[in-house]
Structure 1
Amino acid sequence: MSAKIYDYSKICDSVLLIDPKIRFAGVINDRGRLVAGGMKPNVEPLESEKDDEMIFMELALRVKMRKEFDKQLGVVNFAMASRERAIAISVLLNEDILYVVSEPDSDYCALPKKILEIVNS
């Protein structure tokens, strides 16, 4: 089975346009490195660049660990964390991860569905 080919930059740009409350849309590789996308222009980051690196590496590790249960539970469609200052959503793109961060008052029911529509189109 061949992997789907994604245009990471196009996906990130499209995701940023979904909702003005989205702050970040980037693709993280399986080693926790940002390979496409990033912060929306004119948005103040919530964390330092060094913290970003740690968040990305932790995300890559968490995604790898979730795969251990794919056989029993099926593959993960998306994962979401709701925090006081942000909502974070991750979606697998082959071996890479689309990581989206939005304001905490975003519509967390509609947002993942819209992101998946972009990824699957």
Structure 2
Amino acid sequence: MSVTTWDPTQKPNHPELTRVRGWTAQAWPSADALVQLSDDDRHTLQAWITLDWTLWEPVISQLTASELVHLMQLMTLAEGHIGGCDAGAKSTVIHAFRQHKAKFGAPDKELVRWIKANTQNRFLPYGPVL
């Protein structure tokens, strides 16, 4: 028998719809907007940004088109401006982009240009080629 400890500050290891909807209630037009995030939000983003699609799908599938756009903006900016949010080919932006395309059609080209202009991640927004 093993004994473990309970940490009340431990973050859930899966995205929570309520938390994500709080973030996606507004647009994230530039890195300046990230100052609105609390330390807790930043730590949560660090923990969630590279989670597998199977963990994100239940949340992302419930978001509206505008919420998906706002999530892509936030995660794009987080990768470049919040330490520990480098996601590469595992980026949540890729999941959100694919969900938007499947559910609402391809996001407009202006969003694609915005993502590319605001990231160093070569995989955004489409994901890896293979």
Choose between structure 1 and 2: higher helix proportion. Answer: 2
TM range (shorter): under 0.3
Q: TM-score, normalised by structure 1?
A: 0.27
Q: TM-score, normalised by structure 2?
A: 0.25
Choose between structure 1 and 2: higher strand proportion. Answer: 1
Instruction: Return the index of the structure with the highest Cα Rg.
Output: 2
